Structure 1
Amino acid sequence: MFTCFVLFISFYNAGLSDQMLKDTFRNSPEKRWIYFADTVMGGQSEGAVAFKKGSQGQYARLTGNVTTKNNGGFIQIRKRISGVDKDIAGIKLTAKGNNQIYHIFIRTSGTVLPWQYYKAEFSARNSWKKIKIPIDDFQRSSSFLSRKIRPETIKSIGLVAFGRDFSADLYISEVSFY
């Protein structure tokens, strides 16, 4: 009986791990993705996330106005994750937008302070596009962080409109590792 229980838990956890590593914004994404802006630190950016269905399937749409006033400059949605395989090569996503540059922020067990992260940018054109970003392309936000990300330490991924004054309109239909 104990052996059956251990096998059940092993398969159950393996299934959960797979679900955490790929998100197509189905089945209550608002429970997995949280929106927040620089207002948590006094900034003045405003925005929102909406989870919708369209010709591409389910997607998240991040919209708003990013402003660097009062030391601000971001809006984002973030998902907590765990159980990342140490051998992943990078992050892939399917996105479209308003021909602006957006960012992916990765936080790890080593990014202790709120302003610490690893980031990579991507361009969101006005039609759906698959984008792959190698894990080695992510840049650390501080010299206090390790130069390279150890994938098994990743604890969250953020999709971010960041760093300058602009109107954000980002659609994401899939985020996963490769």
Structure 2
Amino acid sequence: MKLNPTWEYVSDRVMGGVSDGSLSIDMDAQQLVARLTGHVSLQNNGGFIQMAFDLSPDDGVVDASDWTGLEIKLRGNGESYDVRLRTAQLSRPWQSFRAQVTSTASWRVARLPFSSFQPHRTDSTFNPAALRRIGILAIGKAFEADISVAHIGFYR
């Protein structure tokens, strides 16, 4: 099931960090892509830039329990990026369920089973019936980020 995200850009500047980046929507290889670029800095306790979207308006949830996981068509600069899922059971902005994906110079489809997402700063168990938000983050080290996403959705 293909999702139709309205991507938004968020950085560590919301908490005093100094990472700098941008999100653009471009045509690439005859397809519309969301592209996250920028510099991740660890200064001032920072360390991330991200592109993310809510699955439902008004903070609603999407039931993805009939699906096996998340499928992403991506390419980038060879770095690893976090894919983070937020569910209704999470109340703090730093809580999520996360997995990593490594970008390549050529377009590829990465499949991330829901079972591969690990809890981050929460004791909750991942519940695919309560999905709220999906994010792709350049995080955890100082580096130049460059990742493009042409498709994101659920797979069986």
Q: If the length of structure 2 is used for normalisation, what is the TM-score?
A: 0.91
The answer for the alignment partner of 1:76 in structure 2 is 50
Pick from 110, 118, 129: which aligns with 1:152?
129
Q: Distance in 2 between matches of 1:56 and 1:134?
A: 28
Displacement of 1:65: 0.2
Is the partner of 1:102 in helix, strand or coil?
strand
Q: Which runs of 5+ in 1 are unaligned?
A: 1-17, 24-28
The answer for the alignment partner of 1:10 in structure 2 is none
Q: Deviations over 1:149-175 (max 9, x none)?
A: 111111000011111110001011001
Q: Distance in 2 between matches of 1:94 and 1:123?
A: 12
The answer for the alignment partner of 2:83 in structure 1 is 104
Displacement of 1:46: 0.5
Whether contact under 8 Å (2:53, 2:134) holds in the other structure is yes
CA RMSD of aligned residues (A): 1.4
Structure 1: which amino acid aligns with 2:116?
D
The answer for the alignment partner of 1:38 in structure 2 is 12
Q: Distance in 2 between matches of 1:56 and 1:125?
A: 19
Displacement of 1:56: 4.6
Structure 2: which amino acid aligns with 1:128?
W
Bigger proportion of residues as strand? 2
Is the partner of 2:66 in helix, strand or coil?
coil
1:166 aligns with 2:140: no
Displacement of 1:85: 2.8
Runs of 4+ in 1 over 4 A off after TM superposition: none
Is the partner of 2:64 in helix, strand or coil?
coil
Structure 1: which amino acid aligns with 2:51?
I
Is the partner of 1:22 in helix, strand or coil?
coil
Whether contact under 8 Å (1:56, 1:173) holds in the other structure is no
The answer for the alignment partner of 2:31 in structure 1 is 57
Q: Indicate the larger mover: 108-117 or 82-91.
A: 82-91
Q: If the length of structure 1 is used for normalisation, what is the TM-score?
A: 0.80
Structure 2: which amino acid aligns with 1:47?
G
Q: Which runs of 5+ in 2 are unaligned?
A: 56-60
The answer for the alignment partner of 1:67 in structure 2 is 41
Structure possessing the higher relative contact order (Cα contacts under 8 Å, 6 or more residues apart): 2
Larger Rg: 1
Whether contact under 8 Å (1:99, 1:126) holds in the other structure is yes
Q: Distance in 2 between matches of 1:90 and 1:62?
A: 22
Q: Indicate the larger mover: 76-85 or 87-96.
A: 76-85
Q: Distance in 2 between matches of 1:73 and 1:62?
A: 15
Q: Distance in 1 between matches of 2:97 and 2:77?
A: 24
